[in-house]
Amino acid sequence: MSFMSEFKAFAVKGNAMDLAVGVIIGAAFGKIVDSIVNDLIMPIVGAVFGGFDFSNLFLPLKSVPEGVAMTLVEVKKAGVPVFAYGSFLTILLNFIILAFIVFVLVKQINRLKKEAPPAPPAATPEDIVLLREIRDSLKK
């Protein structure tokens, strides 16, 4: 089998196509969850905790030059290394929400799957039946 024909057989295999579709849909779904967290949830959480933006929480790891505003963007522009824990909290919240949604989705799919009926017991082979009959007749 040539390399190209082997690659073609792999690429059009059902599992590879399913995986590609799953990755594309997953990336799009990740953007939706990202928007939900950044545009809907984090502003509410920020308002509850005093009106600040989580993404702007950071600790400068060097002294900030004078005249630089104490925002994450400005401090990074000034070349100061920062410990941006606010961004981490936002991404962590994204992950938790995405994991929860995937969990619920998989749970529902598993619930909807029909359970296979139990297989009927296999018929006893004829030679075993004959041997049992011989055994039973010898006991008499």
What is the CATH classification number for the domain harbouring 26? 1.10.1200.120
How far apart, in whole angstroms, are the C-alpha atoms of residue 29 and residue 12? 24
For residue 36, give its domain range: 3-119
Over 70: is that where the pLDDT of 23 sits? yes
Q: For residues 77 and 70, what is the distance between their CA atoms, to the nearest angstrom?
A: 11
Does residue 138 fall inside a structural domain?
A: no
Residue with tokens 């059009």: 12
Is 7 inside a domain boundary?
Answer: yes
Residue 25 lies in a domain: yes
Query: What global pTM score does this model have?
Result: 0.53
In a domain, 95, yes or no: yes
The chain-wide mean pLDDT, for the chain, equals 82
**Who's near 104: CB < 8 A, 6+ residues apart?**
none
**What are 6's two structure tokens?**
């082997």
pLDDT above 80 for 78: yes
Q: What is the pLDDT of residues 80-130, one digit of tens each?
A: 999 988 888 878 877 888 788 878 888 888 888 777 677 778 888 888 888
CB contact at 8 A, 94 and 34: yes
Looking at the structure of the chain, the number of domains it has is: 1
- The answer, yes or no, to whether residue 43 has pLDDT greater than 70, is yes
Statement: residue 63 has pLDDT above 80 = yes
52-81: average pLDDT:
85
Residue 103 in domain: yes
Residue 131 included in any domain: no
Tokens, residue 22: 């799953």
In a domain, 20, yes or no: yes
In a domain, residue 47? The reply is yes
